Structure 1
Amino acid sequence: MLISICFPFSSSQSYNFRAGSSLSVENPADVLISQNGIFSAGFFQVGRNAYCFAIWFTEPSQSHNLTAVWMANREEPVNGRRSKLELPRSGNLVLTDAGQSAVWSSDTAASSSNFAAELQLWDTGNLALVTKDDAVLWQSFSSPTNTLLPGQSLTRNTKLVSSRSQTNYSSGFYKLLFDNDNVLRLLFDGPQISSFYWPDPWLLSWQAGRSVFNDSRIATLDSLGSFSSSDTYTALASDYGTQLQRRMTVEPDGNLRLYSRKRSGDAWIITWEAVLQPCKIHGICGANSVCSYVPEFGRKCSCIPGYKMINRSDWTQGCEPDFKLSCANSTTESAGFALLPRVEFYGYDYTLYQNQTLESCKSRCLELCDACVGFHYKYDSGGGRYNCYPKLQLRNGYHTPGFNGDIYLKLPKTILSSLPNTPTNEGLNNLGCSISSNVTVQLDRRYEKTHVSGLVKFLLWFACGVGGLEIFVIFTVWFFVMRGNENSGEDNLQDYVLAATGFKKFSYAELKKATRGFSEEIGSGAGGVVYRALLSDKRVAAVKKLKDTSQGEVEFLAEVSIIGRLNHMNLIETWGYCAEGKHRILVYEFMEHGSLAENLASNVLDWKKRFEIAVGTAKGLAYLHDECLEWVLHCDVKPQNILLGSNYQPKVADFGLSKLQNRSELGRYSSFSRIRGTRGYMAPEWVYNLPITSKVDVYSYGIVVLELLTGNNPTTVFHDGEDHVGDQARPKMLVGASSIEAWIEEIPVNGGTI
């Protein structure tokens, strides 16, 4: 037996395992260690008396857990006694269970050149079986499990497969692979069904920014934090540019995440993830259930009304109906519909019925008997009509306030009557228009004939001819305009896509009408002017016309989609956009109490409100910096950009506008081509040309908190030649934690003290 013997093979290889040797599960010292000490390979305990031969990071994280990056026998762990990894003279690496059957092998054919083969653990974390001529017979990089390491390639013949759970290392339901259209995708491969969910499945490849003209089908990760795929997809870590320990893992929850840490033993930090809205991951809650995500509490699954959980210990099995609904009782007398607003169940449509009233959609679902379990009803703004999508199954359900659509569940009326505060079939708002014969009256249109001269007849015929020609011209123009809209993608599919992403694409004419010609200005800044608007659905909105209109439509839409996916109770909600010609417009929710600056000036905020505003603003900024994983810097935190709702709930506005104005500057994540922000609130990093991080927002937030405490505007104080409010507070802070209460009481408040 060979126990961790060092053979200096090269600068990147160490602790070789030679032909004729073996490693035993019963000897903890039988471990291969890379020359740099970062990686180890040996028997890894995955359960009680259950082991897998694996590769892991030698130093555990701060949570005292070892991080495994590869396993040979994840589906068939071996016994904790008499199990061995052997390298016989034939050169075929074999793992045996309790001295009996072989559960895994490298499948390397026997030859004379293999007799002197060695098993080497390289500094990259790659375990390689190498001949004396340095030819690689087998390597772990060619058969990954759930993790990709820097320098390792994901190819057309390999895939990453998640673990079943954090403690069950066997293969799970989520996979990262190249599809048959040459696009890199995340797949939910469940026990019953499978479906792709990243990139967004309703998008065509080019709409998702991917190229199908991709013969190589290869994706790689480097140690600087760049993940790139040959389908033109690229992702950068939030700490991109620094040589760190990194790994990319398909997690048991279905997300693809990039982790990094500076030194061995440090905690792993998430620096990028593929899916920003966790509830959009397929299969996470199972059939007939809805996923909801609240940043404070995380993701939650719940059964839809009338359904019960199948297995209380496993949400992936979903829910089952607590009733029986057959064709015999699929009638208006026996069944009705329960409304679930803002809920989407992706896929499994029976068909699409266009231009339907709500009542006709209900009738169609009832006529389909047990083939229809409910329907999605939404307004097609492009066609000016309502469309109906009957559902064969209710899967991939999630709730989000930004989704523009409703689900109607078909349930027995006995169930409907027992649901609290749930409208029955008769109680739902009828969005259609039904016409009955008893309210239709034929009007009398009889006229007396009179004598008409020949000249009058000629003029009438001439007018009719000109009118007919005009109608023909108008119809022709309308036809070609509609065809042009179809060719540009403004059809039903795209509108459905915009609904699914929580956006509406407004026309410039529509927003001009909603703002009454952009007449009611409610705010302005460096980024643009904000107007009050009344949308067609009677919602009051804030419409911002961006001053920088040089950006292309594709880049603008890509960045708007990023901002629109940021969903937090302390961030202003984006409802839509306009990208028409040179117009670049954003549509936000309207905040009744205006900006924090206006409220501080009017002195209407008591201390309780000020405290809640400070806490809420901090939560919004923390989400931008750490939770949304897009590494969005606000760059202009000030009271004018903190808006207050009806109950004075704060919401941070104008976040990400620096990205909208110049996307290319964010590629470096460390420097900007120009100073951003408002004088008085700007961090020293801007002035001294230091690396720009989230600390610049934290500094600005600190000035806002001081302004909340004192009521003193730092910009006014600065220009009057007095001490900056930050300069007044800084010496007090340096005294130490023991004097915090004392220096807070000394801070001037409009001429006095707190």
Structure 2
Amino acid sequence: MHILIFFLLSFLLCIPSPCSPATTDTLLQGSSLSVEKPADTLVSANGVFSAGFFQVGDNAFCFSIRFTRSKQPTLVWIANRDQPVNGKVSKLTLLKNGNLILSDAGASTIWTTATFSSSEVYLMLMDNGNLVLRASQGIVLWQSFDSPTDTLLPGQPLTEKASLISSRSATNFSSGFYKLYFDNDNVLRLLFNGPNVSSVYWPPTWKLPVDEGRSTYNITKIAVIDPSGHFTSSDTFEFYPSDYGVKRYRRFLMDPDGNLRLYSFNEETSTWEVSWQVIPQPCTVHGLCGANSMCTYDPFVGRTCYCLQGFKIKNPNDWAQGCEPEFTTHRGCNSTGFGFVHLPRMELFGYDLEVIRVTNLTQCENRCLELCDDCQGVQLKFNEVSTYNCYIKTILLNGRDSPNFDGDVYLKLPKSTILSLKVPQKHVPLKCSANLFQSLGRTYQDSKNSTWLNFLLWFACGIGVLEMTCIFFVWFFLFRSSKENDKGERQQLLSATGFQRFTYSELKKATRGFSDEIGRGAGGIVYKGKLDNNRVAAIKSLISETNQGEAEFLAEFSTIGMLNHMNLIDMWGYCVEGKHRLLVYEYMEHGSLAENLYSNALDWNKRFNIAVGTAKGLAYLHEECLEWVLHCDVKPQNILLDSDFQPKVADFGLSKLLNRDEGANSGFSRIRGTRGYMAPEWVYNLRITSKVDVYSYGIVVLEMITGKSPMGIHILENKEGMDQRRLLTWVKEKMNADGPTSKSWTEEVADPNMQGKYDPDKVELLVKVALRCVEDNMDERPSMSQVVEMLQFPEHS
């Protein structure tokens, strides 16, 4: 095998490459920029920006755009940030067919625009820093402004298909852990996406978007900064920098420390100055100090990290890796062997196994001891009803010193460790990431150095081609049967389980490297893909909370695969390889109900049919299928619409699967669902039954009728003036304003987008059914089969 690789590389070296001329601001068709020629750069006409190869490590280069007027050229865009090329033979080439490619050492293609044009094309670096690939007619085939890395320049839009991802550090330009993006609620957010965990940290997740002045009622998903520094976003978020109105060069940066900053260029000092930042308290950024550590801020020292007592740092050069125990990691359930260390005025955000109300600290600590290894510590916080909230922590993450925090942390440790504790050193220099430069480990020999070497290389090429031909025939005849056997096994699996097993490489190819994202939620990310049989599919990459093995995964989802109803999404297959867990569904042409609800796409007949079809799908899950299935997250995002706008309930397979005889005693380890659609049982820790789905369904129906979000605040006009109400209260008071027999209230609650084109009797029917579904007492709610009957046969209800 090593000989074959040598011959193959030798053969590739035998192919000569054309010379490439240096250029100014334009790269013509058929030309290249070489990594070995520093003069091979594109320079904008105003001389402010340049594009070329930039060294990011030992023998490692990236093709980038740089702002050149600063003391040190500033990177504003990188083509191949996660896959640097070698310092020999690598090139950026504009091919004759209109495709722009970046090749590593003249061999493999690392990056491409995947464009094509039958006419003349050229690549130009504009005065605003945008690298544009145009056809001769002026048509833009590709531009760097559409695919930002960590920086937005004035006039460059941030859209739902693009995001800002921080660098790993100030010296390591590969993709880091922090991301600015638009979520499924159309809100601009900051996400910590670490190696093991992820969490949103801005805007604060405990607040509703409306409380932060955000709007979820938009479909554009776009944000942009203008030359004066004014930033505007479609979710109504905006800001003005401290130097607003002054004409300066600016860049909007997702920094490696998780903060979002606007930088303005100082012409006198040739340096960048911060003119705005989104996070005023540095330690509120998630993931900076890693697990088992605390972040603290000192005005003189700056932001620092330190390990919790009983823990030691994993890597002094990279605090993001956190700290590890100095004691034996296996703790067991010997409650007498453990105690608690009080950490006053400290906060640990997130990763709560459960939250319980207690009257004193002892109750909280005892609950932690009962949970054995599942509890690493507790956080005690006074609540509004003269008791305490006890937060059981499964992971000690996002810790920070917070003098204004009205709670304390109690760290669970072996008593032997507590006796030997020392006061932690709090001011340790913070290094969010190490410098990960490394050599690519390749050397190249110039073929002009020796005629004898040329002869050997050509001879090796001939032998290599012969050997490759032989190996091909051996592989074709000997291993063809094994592939047929594998295909037979997969067909047998398809017959036995009702769905197909895919390989990870198949799904990666089908989604073009998971490039076309069409949805994102707590359970995973959904991509659009095209399978080998030309069927268009929705492929969901799951975010698994457990290290579930293949047998357990198949056992659970084989049940889901056998569920069959016209109003449930059809699952075609799955993939389990290593850490990868993927599901393959049918693709729905019109997306989700959430995407269509606030547009003119849904008339009254479509809305009523969606209400009936969704009810039928949930009734099947609750009462007709082989297993009793709770969805637990019924919302518009999980109701998909096919080409005829027929509804299909999705993500039901990710809920709790229960046997019928377990329904009365079902228990859940944590709250499930989405705020605004969750039944009261979740909040008050009551018995969970299928009635939680009935409640969520009722809220969705009210949202469909009114066109108003259950999370929004709605104005109610009455004799006393104008009041603010939540959706459920707003509908009830509108309905009762003119008496139960009057139908004028239907005009008040009907979505204005329907422009009065609806059946008042059916609106009244839907509202009354929905209000029965959202009764606080679960026993007063109908079953989903009763809902179907009330909607289809109202005269019998």
TM-score (norm 2): 0.50
Q: Which residue of 2 aligns with 1:215?
A: 219
Q: Which residue of 1 aligns with 2:177?
A: 173
CA–CA separation in structure 1 for the residues paired with 2:78 and 2:333? 53
* Partner secondary structure for residue 272 of structure 1: strand
Aligned in 2, Cα 1:100/1:264: closer, same or farther, shift over 3 Å? Answer: farther
CA drift of 1:326 comes to 5.5
Q: Is the 8 A contact 1:34 1:123 kept in 2?
A: yes
CA–CA separation in structure 2 for the residues paired with 1:265 and 1:17? 33
CA–CA separation in structure 2 for the residues paired with 1:82 and 1:202? 53
CA–CA separation in structure 2 for the residues paired with 1:5 and 1:264? 30
CA-to-partner distance for each residue in 1:595-619, whole Å, 9 max, x for gaps? xxxxxxxxxxxxxxxxxxxxxxxxx
1:231 is the counterpart of 2:235: yes
Most deviating of 254-263 and 278-287: 254-263
Q: Which residue of 1 aligns with 2:37?
A: 27
Q: Which residue of 2 aligns with 1:411?
A: 413
Q: Which of these residues, 40, 44, 51, is aligned with residue 41 of structure 1?
A: 51
1:82 is the counterpart of 2:82: no
Q: Which amino acid aligns with 1:239?
A: D
| 1:371-450 equivalences in 2 (<5 Å) | 371-380=374-383, 382-420=384-422
Q: Which residue of 2 aligns with 1:263?
A: 267
Q: Which of these residues, 60, 65, 69, is aligned with residue 70 of structure 2?
A: 60
Aligned in 2, Cα 1:326/1:56: closer, same or farther, shift over 3 Å? Answer: closer
CA-to-partner distance for each residue in 1:674-721, whole Å, 9 max, x for gaps? xxxxxxxxxxxxxxxxxxxxxxxxxxxxxxxxxxxxxxxxxxxxxxxx
Q: Where does the alignment leave 5 or more consecutive residues of structure 1 unmatched?
A: 7-14, 423-486, 495-553, 555-754
CA–CA separation in structure 1 for the residues paired with 2:63 and 2:230? 29
Q: Is the 8 A contact 2:358 2:364 kept in 1?
A: no
Aligned in 2, Cα 1:323/1:136: closer, same or farther, shift over 3 Å? Answer: same
Aligned in 2, Cα 1:421/1:190: closer, same or farther, shift over 3 Å? Answer: closer
Q: Where does the alignment leave 5 or more consecutive residues of structure 2 unmatched?
A: 1-18, 425-675, 684-723, 725-797
1:206 is the counterpart of 2:210: yes
Aligned in 2, Cα 1:352/1:121: closer, same or farther, shift over 3 Å? Answer: same
CA drift of 1:199 comes to 1.1
Q: Which amino acid aligns with 2:96?
A: R
Q: Which of these residues, 47, 61, 66, is aligned with residue 51 of structure 1?
A: 61
Q: Which residue of 2 aligns with 1:645?
A: none
Q: Which has the larger radius of gyration?
A: 1
CA–CA separation in structure 2 for the residues paired with 1:85 and 1:314? 34
CA–CA separation in structure 2 for the residues paired with 1:123 and 1:310? 46
| 1:604-753 equivalences in 2 (<5 Å) | none
Q: Which of these residues, 264, 285, 289, is aligned with residue 285 of structure 1?
A: 289
CA drift of 1:356 comes to 2.5
* Partner secondary structure for residue 200 of structure 1: coil
1:304 is the counterpart of 2:308: yes
1:335 is the counterpart of 2:345: no
CA–CA separation in structure 2 for the residues paired with 1:85 and 1:221? 30
CA drift of 1:157 comes to 0.3
CA drift of 1:60 comes to 3.0
CA–CA separation in structure 1 for the residues paired with 2:413 and 2:122? 66
Q: Is the 8 A contact 1:59 1:265 kept in 2?
A: no
CA–CA separation in structure 2 for the residues paired with 1:414 and 1:77? 49
* Partner secondary structure for residue 347 of structure 1: coil
Q: Which amino acid aligns with 1:415?
A: T
CA–CA separation in structure 2 for the residues paired with 1:328 and 1:38? 63
CA drift of 1:129 comes to 0.3
1:369 is the counterpart of 2:376: no
1:195 is the counterpart of 2:192: no
CA-to-partner distance for each residue in 1:66-87, whole Å, 9 max, x for gaps? 1010011111111112111111
CA drift of 1:3 comes to 4.6
CA–CA separation in structure 1 for the residues paired with 2:92 and 2:331? 61
Q: Is the 8 A contact 2:20 2:34 kept in 1?
A: no
CA drift of 1:214 comes to 2.2
CA drift of 1:421 comes to 7.2
CA–CA separation in structure 2 for the residues paired with 1:348 and 1:170? 28
CA–CA separation in structure 2 for the residues paired with 1:412 and 1:72? 50
Q: Which residue of 2 aligns with 1:97?
A: 104
CA–CA separation in structure 2 for the residues paired with 1:84 and 1:48? 18
Q: Is the 8 A contact 2:309 2:423 kept in 1?
A: no
Q: Which residue of 1 aligns with 2:28?
A: 18
Q: Percent identity?
A: 52
CA–CA separation in structure 2 for the residues paired with 1:194 and 1:26? 40
Q: Which of these residues, 121, 131, 139, is aligned with residue 135 of structure 1?
A: 139
CA–CA separation in structure 1 for the residues paired with 2:363 and 2:113? 62
CA–CA separation in structure 2 for the residues paired with 1:41 and 1:264? 24
Q: Which residue of 1 aligns with 2:361?
A: 358
Q: Is the 8 A contact 2:292 2:311 kept in 1?
A: yes
CA–CA separation in structure 2 for the residues paired with 1:134 and 1:88? 18
Q: Is the 8 A contact 2:252 2:262 kept in 1?
A: yes
Aligned in 2, Cα 1:397/1:243: closer, same or farther, shift over 3 Å? Answer: same
Q: Which residue of 2 aligns with 1:161?
A: 165
CA drift of 1:208 comes to 2.0
CA drift of 1:55 comes to 0.3
Count residues with an aligned counterpart: 411
Q: Which amino acid aligns with 1:21?
A: S
| Higher normalized contact order (CA 8 Å, seq sep 6+, divided by chain length) | 2
CA drift of 1:59 comes to 2.2
Q: Which of these residues, 337, 343, 348, is aligned with residue 345 of structure 1?
A: 348
CA-to-partner distance for each residue in 1:220-256, whole Å, 9 max, x for gaps? 0111011111111001111011111000111111111
Q: Which amino acid aligns with 1:272?
A: W
CA–CA separation in structure 1 for the residues paired with 2:145 and 2:178? 19
Q: Which residue of 1 aligns with 2:249?
A: 245
Aligned in 2, Cα 1:129/1:312: closer, same or farther, shift over 3 Å? Answer: same
Most deviating of 152-161 and 385-394: 385-394
Q: Which residue of 2 aligns with 1:458?
A: none
Q: Which residue of 1 aligns with 2:322?
A: 318
Aligned in 2, Cα 1:222/1:416: closer, same or farther, shift over 3 Å? Answer: same
TM-score (norm 1): 0.53
* Partner secondary structure for residue 366 of structure 2: helix
CA-to-partner distance for each residue in 1:73-112, whole Å, 9 max, x for gaps? 1111111121111112101011111211111111002x32
CA drift of 1:355 comes to 3.5
Q: Which residue of 2 aligns with 1:593?
A: none
* Partner secondary structure for residue 320 of structure 2: helix
CA–CA separation in structure 1 for the residues paired with 2:330 and 2:61? 50
Q: Is the 8 A contact 2:353 2:393 kept in 1?
A: yes
Q: Is the 8 A contact 1:59 1:264 kept in 2?
A: no
